[in-house]
A = this chain, B = another copy of it.
Amino acid sequence: MTIIECVPNVSEGRRTEVVQALVEAMSRSPGVGLLDASSDPSHNRSVFTLVGAARALKAALLTLYALAIERIDLRTHRGAHPRIGAVDVVPFVPLQDATFEDCITLARELGHSVAERFGLPVYLYEAAALRPDRSSLDEIRRGQFEGLHTKLAQPGWEPDFGPNVPHPSAGATVIGARRLLIAYNVNLDTDQFDVARQIAAAVRASGGGLRHVKAMGVDLVHRRLVQVSMNLTDYEETTLDTVFDAVKREAERRGVAIVDSEIVGMVPARALIEAGVRYLQLEGFRLEQVLERRLSSTLTLPRRPSS
């Protein structure tokens, strides 16, 4: 079965009755699983994790747009997180048997429908972008809801679908496709924030470090520790154990030990299995030896009807 993940970010993290209405609508959506729902009041934003096949996801998302547009008004919305619309960003992520192409197609189909049905300007971003200068979400969101009227009127910022003017209360929306992201933090045995900042700068792609790592230093004042807080944007190319090793090496150079590490949210089995293979110094190991992978592929093959 082809499964896609979708992580819609909605501009409401304070009014629990609104968040609850969105959660309920998605939980009832046929063929879709709601894996997680997290709201942040200071960001005034909620993030949902949905999984399902393309068609079921598209239906669930159209319901989400309808509800969010009805209940959220960006003209009175305040929060710490940048946002451009009521349904701010909708990334699709390929999971089990799904390809990047499946997600790009779905993003563009949804964008087309959302523009038509709700009169929303739609920008396509990252892998689903139709122009190279729209791969960056930050660029698209610059100016936020408040600057949207001006932005949409600028040459080069015409939306990919929908009108050249913002929806009065719901703004615009950004839809795209990206790889699965792992949120991974390593905690260091020091209260020197500068150590975390330096290590983050050394391991991340923008500092010439590992290609698929974004990183920043964080001061965990309550634990009297500092943290290297990371996003792994392609865990198949830059593996978890490579990232751990890199942070550990940089910490050792500074005479600092690692206390522990943490994965925030979901992680694909493969990312941890590869770290396990590393720990055990396994040679010649093939992922096909993992029982669950064989079970799912063997038992879903078409068979003769049961006699």
Contact = CB atoms under 8 A, between A and B. Distances in A.
Contact of A266 (B261, B294, B303): B294
A281 interface: yes
A273 interface: yes
Nearest to A59: B307
Given A56-B306, A268-B292, A303-B31, A280 B96 contact: no
Contact of A267 (B263, B269, B291): B291
Interface string A235-271: 0000011001000000000000011111101111101
A304 interface: yes
A305 B31 CA distance: 8
Interface residues of A, number: 61
A274 interface: yes
Contacts of A220: none
A260 B283 contact: yes
Given A267-B290, A267-B291, A272-B272, A278 B279 contact: yes
Contact of A96 (B33, B262, B277, B295): B295
19 contacts: A3-B295, A30-B307, A35-B298, A51-B299, A59-B307, A240-B280, A241-B280, A244-B281, A260-B282, A261-B280, A261-B282, A262-B282, A266-B291, A266-B294, A267-B291, A269-B273, A272-B277, A275-B276, A292-B292
Interface of A: 1, 3, 28, 30-31, 33-35, 51-52, 56, 59, 95-96, 180, 187, 240-241, 244, 258-263, 265-269, 271-285, 289-296, 298-299, 301, 303-307
Given A241-B279, A275-B275, 6 more contacts: A1-B299, A33-B295, A51-B295, A96-B292, A262-B285, A267-B291
